[in-house]
Amino acid sequence: MGLSRLRPSHEILSGDSADVYFVRAETILAKEGLDPLVSMEVFGRQGGVLCGIDEARNLLGHVLASAAPGEAQLEALSDGDLIEPKEIVLRIRARYRQFGLYETAFLGMLAQSTGWATAARECVDVAAPDPVISFGARHIHPDIVDVLDYAAIVGGCVGASTPAGARLAGLAPTGTMPHSLVLIFGDTVEAALAFDRHVEAEVPRIVLVDTFKDEAEEALRVAAALGDRLYGIRLDTPSERGRVTPDLVHEIRARLDQAGHGHVQITVSGGLTPERIAVFKEAGAPVDSYAVGSYISGASPIDFTGDIKEIDGRPIAKRGRIPGLTESPRLQSVDLAAYREG
């Protein structure tokens, strides 16, 4: 699972996505004929679920693959590792000008993805043992939705709503149907039957039941129409109608069971946070899975920093930091030979 071995984009490799001061530093060092052998360590400001490190390793693996023998070493943790504040997650030993231009890129990869994965884990921990699905694609730019969903899965989500994100994680996308489909058909049952007629048989039949009528009534109508083919229903009641509540879930579960539809699962969505999930858990609501969107996609990035700690074997550091390499027993060596072409 992950982004390993894919060649980084032209925008990243060209330096166009770098902070301009790294570009200027590269120009100055080249004109001065300076290119020392440095060791840089990367750490996060807070703990969480590490993500983006596989992508960062992939970038650095490609740019360091052409280094002279013995002049480049890369050590790193892996996506999904739980990290402590200021724990070293990445160490680079190479000629500075070979990788310095890419500091913006690999710090950004780590910051954004670790923030998403950590938020996902917060939801997963509260919901356990019930699964959580990532539904946050609509809240971010489409060019990075695959990275979001991959990070959510690294954080513990069992699935993601976009094919691109699920593909990175080696999974099939997870989803139901949009309200627009139900609105166009004008009836939830008609939309459900059309879904059943045309969507591949291996896709679970999960029907949205809050568009037109009372959710319990719609759930029973859909269950009667699809029978054993109905895998589940999704509740996404808007805030204008009081959102989904534990009492509503209890009622729907009871009515489905009484009508002989005990196999039908219930998915809850709509503005879920760890606090809201906890309300369902504490009430013993029979929720089978939770679909979480903006809490994951809107998570703040976790700040990562890269520090040069050695230059040509000499310990060094900026004020406030300890010169020399940090004891980091969890780091694993990355095989740079795997990135060499031909």
Extract the tokens encoding 54. 């596989």
pLDDT of residue 68: 80
pLDDT of residue 226: 97
Contacts of 341 (CB under 8 A, 6+ apart): 65
Q: Can you list the residues of the chain whose pLDDT is less than 70? A: 1-7, 168-169, 171-175, 341-342
Fold assignment, 127-297: TIM Barrel (3.20.20)
| Cα Rg of the chain (Å, integer) | 24
The 10s digit of each residue's pLDDT in 260-278 is 999 999 999 999 999 999 9
Selection from 111, 104, 109, 112 nearest residue 25 by Cα: 104
Residue type, 156: G
Going through the chain in order, the beta strands assigned E by DSSP cover 37-44, 48-49, 73-76, 82-83, 88-95, 132-134, 159-160, 205-208, 230-235, 265-269, 289-292, 304-311, 314-315, 332-333
pLDDT of residue 169: 65
Are 161 and 135 spatial neighbours (Cβ–Cβ below 8 Å)?
yes
At 262, phi and psi to the nearest 5?
Answer: -65, -15
pLDDT of residue 282: 97
Extract the tokens encoding 178. 């949009």
The Cα–Cα gap between 154 and 118 comes to: 9
Ranges of CATH 3.20.20.70 domains, the chain: 127-297
Q: Which residues of 14-24 are buried (b: 16+ CB within 10 A; e: fewer)?
A: ebebbeeebee
Q: Which CATH architecture has domain 10-114+301-339?
A: Alpha-Beta Barrel (3.20)
The Cα–Cα gap between 45 and 299 comes to: 15
Ranges of CATH 3.20.140.10 domains, the chain: 10-114+301-339
pLDDT of residue 1: 47
pLDDT of residue 162: 77
At 26, phi and psi to the nearest 5?
Answer: -60, -45
pLDDT of residue 65: 87
DSSP-assigned beta bridge partners for residue 6: none
Cα torsion angle, 95, 97, 98, 102, sign: positive
For residue 178, cis peptide bond before it (omega within 30 degrees of 0):
no
pLDDT of residue 172: 66
